[in-house]
Amino acid sequence: MGNGMDEEIKYYLIACGTKDYKNLDPDKQLPSVETDLELVVDLFTRDFGYQRVLTDLDINPKKDEIPLKFAQWLQQNCRETDIVIFYYSGHGEYKLGDRHYLLLEDTDPKLIGQTALSTEDLVRPLNNDGVRIAQILYIIDTCCSQMGAVEVTKFAAGSIGIYRSSKEKNIAVHTIAACRAKQEAKESVFSTVLAAVLKDFCQQSRNRYISPGEIVGKVNEKIPDSMPQDVVHNLTGSETVAKFFPVIPKTIRTWEEKRLELTEELLNEFKKHLSKNLLFINSFLLNSKFLEEFILNDLELKEQLKKLSNKPVIEGICPLIACSEWCRTRLLEEDRSNPSIDAIEAWQSRVIKYRENADLDKIQNEVRQSWEKFKERINREELRLQIEIEQDLDKDNNTGRVFNSFHLRMNLWIKSQHRPLGRFAENEKIELNSEIESCPESQTFLANLIRKARYSLPNKVKLNLEIFLPIKVLKYPLEEFQFKRGTMWRSLGYEYPVFIK
């Protein structure tokens, strides 16, 4: 359920309902349930960033399926920061002296206690060991739903609260009932008014979250007087701020909560053409003067994207979006039919609303100009990769003793400039004994150094190698050292002019 990256708030929606009733008259069927679900799912996923789960429940779920699948889902890596909304739409009935039930497709009206689902059973899965969500909101869009909401709240307070207080973090359980205990819920009234109210709040609210109590108050104001239907909100458990309805675009908060999820999406797109995108992204880093380590594989790519996602927006430029645009620009030059071009563009349109003050047009223009300047400079100049390998000496005690470790400095120089274009390693300490004296075919150390440089430059760029190192540590000529290029092994001397000093 997590995204494999750092901890963050995740929003999950479970939405289901019953529209067909085999044992009820034709005028008791509820075709509007399908519309209600579509409206609610679209509202929560589009405007509030919810991910819909348990989609197989959807329309006409079975009695045993709902609590079982919900309980199983809660065991699948849920975390103490997760927020859940459980929405149900359909017929509901309160049996005097018994409890509130959700009527299902196979429910027999003469055997409701045996063939319908007790509304209380929606909350029982929270009582299982290992459930670790922060908050859950049950929205019960049925007749007499206040009684069901009361039972949910009572069970949560009396059972879950006591049980969890000594063992685990408490869960805040909220309920919104579409009508009071003795009222009938009119078809689609609640879902339609709820959507309108939330839209107004998103445009006008200055708070980070819209509280369920505020929503219920506004919904009741908007329901026509001709429809006697009062919506009710209840809460038990933690008194912390209800986070079910984050206001967008409060981008400082929403970016922190969506940052890692959206970064993971970009990573997955880049991994479809990993080798090509490593080349593109390293050239972006080189051109942007970011001094982080250059990247050689998908794990390093993941870390680099996370670093870029943490950088602030400056003068309209978001570094992560700029990186994606740099890659998109390179792909456009190579093959306009590449599906990754549209995928990255769609990703940008989703991300931009979360990045306060970011300007996509400005980012695209800036990247386009930077790419042209970068190409011109690289193609015009003579490039030299300078690698300095110096044996480590005991300078602290001034003994002159030679250690088995080495210091590495590696810079990319442009001939006409007195400063390096890029710095790949600055006084990095390395152990070379086992590698640099070994058979050239098994050599990997220098291969990785060269790959770091090659992965940051456009194709067909000529690169000279200038290597400073103690010759006595080598058993083989340096230019004969092998490195892997694609599926082929190549020698340094075959691929590059090598100058050894």
CA distance 229 to 251: 36
Mean pLDDT of 257-265: 90
* CA dihedral sign, ordered 343, 349, 352, 358: positive
d(CA 321, CA 339): 18
AA letter at 330: R
Which tens digits make up the pLDDT trace of 457-476? Answer: 666 666 777 777 666 555 55
Quickly name the fold that domain 11-236 has: Rossmann fold (3.40.50)
Question: In Å, how far from its chain's centre is CA 277?
Answer: 20
Mean pLDDT of 403-408: 65
Tens of pLDDT along 295-319? 768 888 899 899 899 888 888 899 9
Tens-digit pLDDT profile for residues 354-393:
887 889 999 999 999 988 887 777 776 677 777 777 776 7
Q: Which of 369, 258, 345 is nearest to 309 (CA)?
A: 258
- How far apart are alpha carbons 393 and 407 in whole angstroms? 10
Map out the domains of the chain as residue ranges: 11-236, 257-380, 383-500
pLDDT at site 142: 84
Predicted confidence band of residue 68 (pLDDT cuts 50, 70, 90): very high
Q: What share of the chain in percent tops pLDDT 70? A: 64
Whether the pLDDT of residue 17 is over 80: the answer is: yes
* C-alpha–C-alpha distance, residues 406 and 428, integer Å: 8
Separation between Cα atoms, residue 176 and residue 477, nearest integer Å: 77
**Stretch among 90-94, 235-239, 240-244, 320-324 having the lowest mean pLDDT:** 235-239
- Kindly indicate the confidence band of residue 20, based on its pLDDT and cuts at 50, 70 and 90: very high
Quote the tokens at residue 468: 């400073």
Helix, strand, coil share of the chain (percent; to 5): 45, 20, 35
Q: Which two tokens stand for residue 295?
A: 């990247």
Q: Which residue has the higher pLDDT, 291 or 84?
A: 84
Neighbour tally for 194: CB within 10 Å? 25
**pLDDT at residue 429 in the model:** 64
Q: Which amino acid is at 279?
A: L
**For residue 236, is pLDDT > 90?**
no
pLDDT tens track for 413-450: 766 555 556 555 555 565 655 444 444 444 556 666 66
Identify the pLDDT of residue 195. Answer: 87
Confidence band, pLDDT 50/70/90 cuts, at residue 25: very high
Query: In this predicted model, what pLDDT tens digit does every residue of 156-185 receive, in sequence order?
Result: 665 555 444 444 567 888 988 876 444 454
Residue 158: CB partners within 8 Å, gap ≥ 6? none
Name the nearest CA neighbour of 37 among 90, 83, 84, 103: 90
Rounded average pLDDT over 74-96: 87
What CA–CA distance (Å, rounded) separates 45 from 198?
13
Dist CA 337 CA 314 (whole Å): 32
pLDDT of residue 139: 92
